[in-house]
Amino acid sequence: MLKNLTPQPPDRIIEMIGLFKADTRDGKVDLGVGVYKDADGKTPVMRAVKAAEARLVESQDSKSYVGLLGNLDFVDLMRDLVLGDAVPAQQVTGAQAPGGTGAIHQLLELVKLATPEAKVWYSDPTWPNHPAIIKHLGLKGATYAYFDAATCRVDFDAMMADLGKASAGDVVILHGCCHNPTGANLSADQWATLTDFVLEKAVIPFIDFAYQGFGDGLDADAAGVRAMAVRVPEMLIAASCSKNFGLYRDRVGVALALSKDADALVLTKGALASLNRLNFSFPPDHGATVVQIILSDPELRADWVAEVEEMRLRMLSLREGLASALRQATNSDRFDFVAEHRGMFSRLGITPEQILKLRNEDAIYVVGDSRVNVAGFPEDRLDEVARAIAAG
């Protein structure tokens, strides 16, 4: 049987991790791996997480199962974090999932159960797992234009032209903020136009919300999603705690479904419980309970909010510093968009040949589509890295 398996395509980022680790040069720079890094190049455990884990270890008296939907207090708190008071709590149901990826998978499984003939639209470019999971589940996928490589900004006219081909019942995946891989965000007006489109076309918005707090702030990053949630009859949301809580390896996520139809929500809750049972039985508890402790304790929550803001401001400072260094190195405004983008990523718009040259000659590792993790830039070497990019 096993000999019938075919080789799977390599993950370009995982492949690059191996190349970077094998590189023995001093001063090498990893701009590929999508994790937050501090000034020392480390991905720290957040202060509030440390404190919450200490409380959990002290108080937890069982490792028994929690429930098919996971920690429901966590689910409710995440609903409030994402949606605020935009919609009544009784219009939302949800389930804990293993990370944002698990939440995306479960919600796409839900789509397959409800409307297997639906087409799932995703941006070009997007996070590679979007099309991969869609294909794996046997759903029909389609792309819509999003990023103008010439201007390095959102091409909203082209986006709406492509989405105009969608049919009623189709699903449209939207990045809640901090678009991965481009860093180019939709404006408030564009969110409003998209909401008009959703209502007119009767399509289902599916929000991938992996970076709340990393763009313009926890509430500002959710503004577009919340404004849309007020108006649309249904919405799916996959939210991740990997980035803003730093819980990458603990796999903490939530799958939320919004509906103004109470009967539909009852069916959705049962379907999510069934899908969890089929895929992994019970979601992992530790990280979700840590988040629950943080969000329900005013002191810990305030410290967490402060640390997320520190991380956001650090990335914004790196963006501004890099854009300035590139302006000086190139004697042009070609890379000014870096300061305008938000979140961990931007696409620099350099060629594969330039990317290979950066790796071979300067030990600077960039993903093949020129996406860079802004948090990976060494803040004391921005001029040096900018000169290497400009020299390409």
Question: First-to-last CA distance in the chain?
Answer: 48
Report which of 174, 181, 169 is spatially closest to residue 139, judged by C-alpha positions.
Answer: 169
Annotated active-site residue in 48, 52, 119, 127: 127
Q: Which residue reads 């929000």 in tokens?
A: 207
Annotated active-site residue in 208, 221, 285, 362: 208
Q: Using CB atoms within 10 Å of the CB of residue 335, give its burial: 0 to 12 exposed, 13 to 18 middle, 19+ buried.
A: buried
The rounded distance, in Å, linking the Cα atoms of 171 and 72 is 26
Which pTM was predicted?
0.95
Q: What is the DSSP string of 197-246?
A: HHHHHT-EEEEEE--TTSSS-HHHHHHHHHHHHHH-SEEEEEEE-TTTS-
The verdict on whether 302 is a catalytic residue reads: no
Annotated active-site residue in 243, 285, 304, 362: 243
The rounded distance, in Å, linking the Cα atoms of 72 and 74 is 5
Q: Provide the pLDDT for residue 9.
A: 82
Q: Provide the pLDDT for residue 36.
A: 95
Report which of 45, 36, 63, 43 is spatially closest to residue 289, judged by C-alpha positions.
Answer: 63
**pLDDT tens-place values along the chain, 392 residues long:** 999 999 988 777 888 888 899 999 999 999 988 899 999 889 999 999 999 999 999 999 999 999 999 999 999 999 999 999 999 999 999 999 999 999 999 999 999 999 999 999 999 999 999 999 999 999 999 999 999 998 999 999 999 999 999 999 999 999 999 999 999 999 999 999 999 999 999 999 999 999 999 999 999 999 999 999 999 999 999 999 999 999 999 999 999 999 999 999 999 999 999 999 999 999 999 999 999 999 999 999 999 999 999 999 999 999 999 999 999 999 999 999 999 999 999 999 999 999 999 999 999 999 888 999 999 999 999 999 999 999 87
Q: Provide the pLDDT for residue 12.
A: 78
Q: Provide the pLDDT for residue 357.
A: 95
Annotated active-site residue in 52, 86, 118, 210: 210
The verdict on whether 112 is a catalytic residue reads: no
The verdict on whether 191 is a catalytic residue reads: no
Contact by Cβ (8 Å): 237, 256: yes
The verdict on whether 140 is a catalytic residue reads: no
